[in-house]
Amino acid sequence: MGELFPVAGCRLYIGGQITVPIRPMIVSDFGTQVWTEIDGWSTMGAFGDSAQEITTSLINRDRDIKQKGTKNAGSMENTFAVMADDPGQQALLLAVESKRNYAFRILLNDRQQAAATISVAAPGVVTLTDHGMIVGQPVRLFSTGTLPAPLQNEVEYFVHTVLSDDTFSLTTTPGGTAIETTEVGTGTITAEYGGSWRYFAALVMGAQEQGGEANTIRNQSTTLSINSNIVRA
């Protein structure tokens, strides 16, 4: 039986303006984007292609014949707890004022776990067979003893550089400096990593602030009108 994954733990990122090609978009179309996570994400809207229905009524058949027409990836309705100083929310508000498409990506919460080793080096190198990671992807490390210093158990790190199919270095923040490991750890190391990505281009149609009762935090509702296919990675 397949494993089930919750919505909790998913992450939404905004990039810069992007031109949508005539052909379906692919992962490399998003390769030059600089991504900023949007904090305070409290409700994830629906997204994904749905074909328009073409209906032709045929007299001689006494039946409507249906065909699939053009595709539409829909409008994704998201809600955020208002955080005025969050760079992601600030970028989202700037995108509202633009008539251009913006790049977005979602990291889904379907991570996997596998045994790993970490060298003592500058930078420290994580060996994880066939990891499939990309730069900026989060990694959480666990050890039955201690991790190589200064790494800490159950702290989230990010991929700094993909060195090979089986190795990569880490950083404490996306775009930060690679971590140098200085002391051998103990025990068996497990890495929680991966997660599926969804990439798309969208117009940011609005950002409506929501009120409510006294014991309600201020929320912001944002509509992403998707103008491309959804790229799975």
Closest residue by Cα to residue 42 from 229, 230, 223, 221: 221
pLDDT band at 211 (very low <50, low <70, confident <90, very high): confident
Interior angle at CA 120, CA 114 and CA 126, nearest 5:
25
- The answer on 213 and 185 residing in a single domain is no
> Which pair of tokens denotes residue 147?
């991790």
Residue 39 is predicted with a pLDDT of: 97
Maximum CA extent, the chain? 82
- The answer on 203 and 184 residing in a single domain is no
Mean pLDDT of 170-184: 91
Per-residue pLDDT tens over the stretch 32-45 = 899 999 999 999 99
- The answer on 90 and 16 residing in a single domain is yes
pLDDT of residue 62 exceeding 90, the answer is: yes
Domain count, the chain: 2
Count, residues in the chain: 233
> Kind and range of the H or E element at 90?
helix 87-96
* Domain CATH for 50: 4.10.410
Query: Domain of 168?
Result: 112-194
Per-residue pLDDT tens over the stretch 68-77 = 999 999 999 9
pTM of the model: 0.79
Residue 5 is predicted with a pLDDT of: 86
Sole residue written with tokens 């409507």: 64
- The answer on 182 and 220 residing in a single domain is no
- The answer on 119 and 104 residing in a single domain is no
pLDDT band at 1 (very low <50, low <70, confident <90, very high): low
Residue 154 is predicted with a pLDDT of: 86
Question: What share of the chain in percent tops pLDDT 70?
Answer: 99
Amino acid (one-letter) located at 128: L
> Which pair of tokens denotes residue 197?
């990505």
pLDDT of residue 222 exceeding 70, the answer is: yes
Residue 168 is predicted with a pLDDT of: 95
- The answer on 86 and 172 residing in a single domain is no
> Is the link from the previous residue into 24 a cis peptide, with omega within 30 of 0?
no
Please, are residues 192 and 115 in contact by the beta-carbon 8 Å criterion?
no
> Is the link from the previous residue into 150 a cis peptide, with omega within 30 of 0?
yes
Contact partners, residue 223, CB within 8 Å, separation at least 6: 75, 76, 77, 78, 204, 205, 206
**Domain annotation covers residue 4:** no
Dihedral, CA atoms, 35, 198, 30, 226, nearest 10 degrees?
A: -100
- The answer on 96 and 20 residing in a single domain is yes
